[in-house]
A = this chain, B = another copy of it.
Amino acid sequence: MIYLTRRERFNAAHRMYREEWSDEKNFEVFGKCSNPNWHGHNYELFVTVCGEPDPQTGLLINLKELSRIVRERVIDRLDHKNINLEVPFMQGKIASTENLVITIWEELEAPLQERGIRLYSLKIAESENNIIEYKKE
């Protein structure tokens, strides 16, 4: 089995909070990440797909097409945006990297499947110290 990982990047603002909680309660749970004036990150997204290489081309997939799908579905809607306010697929969700990675999976799985590409894992590094990965098992 071959696993191909493509890295894409986006910069975004967000705030960790639960609407029905007070600012105090939010601060208690989320600390400085709940700052009502937002903060932000350089996010790195690692999309891993898997399968067997095409014997005609020696390639698992067309990398340009993978990159195009990831950009159209995910990066263009997140880059230089406010994750809480502006990202359609994050509406009504807490803007945690955990929720982000699960939601990006939902955005990518179907369009990749249509092209015969099997999504294996999604990883987001929100800093050099904190990395979240999602695999559907």
- The reply on A32 being an interface residue by CB < 8 A is yes
> In the complex, which of the residues B2, B82, B95 contacts A35, with contact meaning CB atoms closer than 8 Å?
B82
Binary contact track A84-95/B, C-beta < 8 Å → 1, others 0? 011000000111
Copies held by the complex: 6
> Could you tell me the distance between the alpha carbons of A133 and B93 in the complex, rounded to whole angstroms?
33
Binary contact track A105-137/B, C-beta < 8 Å → 1, others 0? 000000000000000000000111111111111
- The reply on A69 being an interface residue by CB < 8 A is no
- Contact residue range for chain A? 35 or more
Are A96 and B133 interface neighbours, CB within 8 A?
Answer: no
> In the complex, which of the residues B2, B6, B12, B32 contacts A79, with contact meaning CB atoms closer than 8 Å?
B32
Nearest-neighbour CB distance to chain B for A23, whole angstroms, equals 14
What chain B residues lie within 8 Å of A53 (beta carbons)? Answer: 96, 98-99, 102
Q: Which residue of chain B has the shortest Cβ distance to A100 in the bound complex?
A: B58
> Could you tell me the distance between the alpha carbons of A57 and B86 in the complex, rounded to whole angstroms?
20
- The reply on A71 being an interface residue by CB < 8 A is no
Nearest-neighbour CB distance to chain B for A39, whole angstroms, equals 4
Are B13 and A57 interface neighbours, CB within 8 A?
Answer: no
- The reply on A80 being an interface residue by CB < 8 A is yes
**5 cross-chain CB contacts under 8 A:** A13-B39, A32-B80, A35-B80, A37-B85, A39-B80
